[in-house]
Amino acid sequence: MDLQHWLGRANDAIQQWADTFGPYEQHPSLLVDDDRFAVAFGELTGRLRENYPFFHPRYAGQMLKPPHPAAIVGHLTTMLINPNNHALDGGPATARMEREAVAQLAAMFGYDTHLGHLTTSGTIANLEALFVARELHPGRGIAYSADAHYTHGRMCHVLGMKGYPVPTDDRGRISVDALEDILRTGEVGTVVLTAGTTGLGAVDPVHSALALRDRYGVRLHVDAAYGGFFTLLAGADGPEGLPAEPWRAIARCDSIVVDPHKHGLQPYGCGAVLFRDPEVGRFYLHDSPYTYFTSSELHLGEISLECSRAGAAAAALWLTFQVLPPTPDGLGRVLGAGRRAALRWADLITASDALELYQRPELDIVGYFPSVEPATLSGVDAASARVLADGMAGTDPVFLSTLKADRDAFTARHPEVTADADGARILRSVLMKPESEDHVQHLHDQVTLLARS
């Protein structure tokens, strides 16, 4: 897709529509001289160079990458109109696109009924899911794994609920036994299961937790902000295929959060929350004196905590799904490549004497650390920090990230490393670009050199 071509077409199409309303003069207060703008624009593009090359396969750090051109064109085209998906008065077309895209997300997880909407972020989407959880189980708390996103602890505080962090196993997944011990107290009303932790991409055993729901009368919320789209690889053939059980079980959970701005090829400003029971919409109900004139149909603002939201975000996701739908043959192929890249790198690291694998990747996130002699946590920590810094400094740079592993988590995986500190930074690479698949050998060679020097 040639962006220059399609952005020109975008401008023409919206202008043609605008022209049907007749000419008008722009107010002089808004007029800006082109020369003056050129100076400011030059400064902007100059300042934007202060960035890491998220688009390039040599960037193998955090969960960052640019949107797909379809999303960019969808977003920018719609932004020329700037609809607001709070209400049908603000953006009838994009509100409908949002409904359609959200229905595709719900179908991807196997929900046969749903109520849901897009949000500005996974944080807000999780806040909504926990808010509904509180309304349904007032006075009872929220359990989540110790490796769950920190937003859950924080949102418990915001919502005035008690949070119960649950220990994880030696792969970073919630311990079902430890969870059951907490549920026996009767104090927990909702369990958060993470399908793809932010740190290492660990997938909680959602299928094992299902039995606990009935036994203890709890709600199950799945935080799949990062990992949700990996459900497209559940049971797939080939090395990228994932065990089906936890992913299939998500369809039976009460709510789901997924971030299209992480693995859905979207620009920031696109999270989503889905509820299996549409009846929970009653908790949001309110009267707005300002909006809801044009339709008695449900307005998205009536079922979301946020008010104004970019219609452009919905249009971008809708347009992307027209060409790369959330199906195994669509987006699934994009995720599959990243997953194969992670497995391949894990194999190279396992065979290497300069690097060690922290744990086998479940999705597309690789955790590893330089081999050090003597093997101590403080040695691993210093070596990881050095590789991170040296990697960015050279003329052929490589961009990684680090993850703080605490002492118990580290020694559960690597008892041979002496625990002389309360934890250690390890190296972490999120291989979320399909291009990484062809770049992994080069990355490995570079990081190996850095670790040896």
Cβ at position 60, least distance to ligand PLP in Å: 17
| Cα gap 205→171, rounded to integer Å | 11
CA distances from 245 to 195, 209, 233, 323 (A): 12, 11, 12, 29
Dihedral sign for Cα 281, 282, 283, 285, please.
positive
CA distances from 219 to 132, 183, 209, 311, 448 (A): 10, 11, 10, 31, 46
128 contacts ligand PLP (rule: CB under 6 A):
no
Cβ at position 118, least distance to ligand PLP in Å: 11
Nearest in space to 433 (alpha carbons), one of 361, 369, 341:
341
Cβ at position 155, least distance to ligand PLP in Å: 10
Cβ at position 266, least distance to ligand PLP in Å: 11
Nearest in space to 227 (alpha carbons), one of 44, 430, 388, 421:
430
| Cα gap 116→303, rounded to integer Å | 8
| The token pair that represents 104 in the structure block | 């595709």
Nearer residue to ligand PLP within complex by CB, 119 or 320: 119
CA distances from 13 to 3, 8, 156, 348, 424 (A): 15, 9, 46, 50, 55
326 contacts ligand PLP (rule: CB under 6 A):
no
Contact 402, 237 (CB under 8 A): no
Nearer residue to ligand PLP within complex by CB, 85 or 194: 194
Contact 84, 288 (CB under 8 A): no
Cβ at position 122, least distance to ligand PLP in Å: 2
| The token pair that represents 453 in the structure block | 């020097």
* Number of residues in contact with ligand PLP under rule CB under 6 A: 13
Nearest in space to 371 (alpha carbons), one of 384, 359, 354, 383:
354
Nearer residue to ligand PLP within complex by CB, 57 or 122: 122
246-277 b/e (C-beta count within 10 Å ≥ 16 → b): bbbbbbebbbbbbbbbbbbbbbebbbbbbbbe
Nearer residue to ligand PLP within complex by CB, 149 or 439: 149
Q: Which stretch binds ligand PLP (CB under 6 A): 116-124, 153-161, 391-399, 433-441?
A: 116-124
Contacts (CB under 6 A) with ligand PLP, residues 198-237 = 198, 223, 225-226
Q: Which stretch binds ligand PLP (CB under 6 A): 81-89, 120-128, 163-171, 396-404?
A: 120-128
β 255-258/355-359 pair status: unpaired
Nearer residue to ligand PLP within complex by CB, 312 or 398: 312
| Cα gap 326→100, rounded to integer Å | 12
Nearer residue to ligand PLP within complex by CB, 68 or 263: 263
Cβ at position 157, least distance to ligand PLP in Å: 15
Contacts (CB under 6 A) with ligand PLP, residues 300-319 = none
Contacts (CB under 6 A) with ligand PLP, residues 263-282 = 271
Nearest in space to 220 (alpha carbons), one of 208, 228, 231:
208
The set of residues, in sequence order, having a beta carbon less than 8 Å from that of 105 and lying 6+ positions away, is: 116, 228, 258, 260, 272, 274, 326
> Which residue is closest to ligand PLP by CB?
122
Nearer residue to ligand PLP within complex by CB, 126 or 320: 126
When binding is defined by CB under 6 A, the residue of 77, 84, 85, 121 that contacts ligand PLP is 121
Cβ at position 152, least distance to ligand PLP in Å: 8
When binding is defined by CB under 6 A, the residue of 117, 149, 207, 433 that contacts ligand PLP is 149
Cβ at position 174, least distance to ligand PLP in Å: 13
Q: Which stretch binds ligand PLP (CB under 6 A): 13-21, 115-123, 244-252, 397-405?
A: 115-123
255 contacts ligand PLP (rule: CB under 6 A):
no
Interface contacts to ligand PLP, rule CB under 6 A: 121-123, 126, 149, 151, 194, 198, 223, 225-226, 259, 271
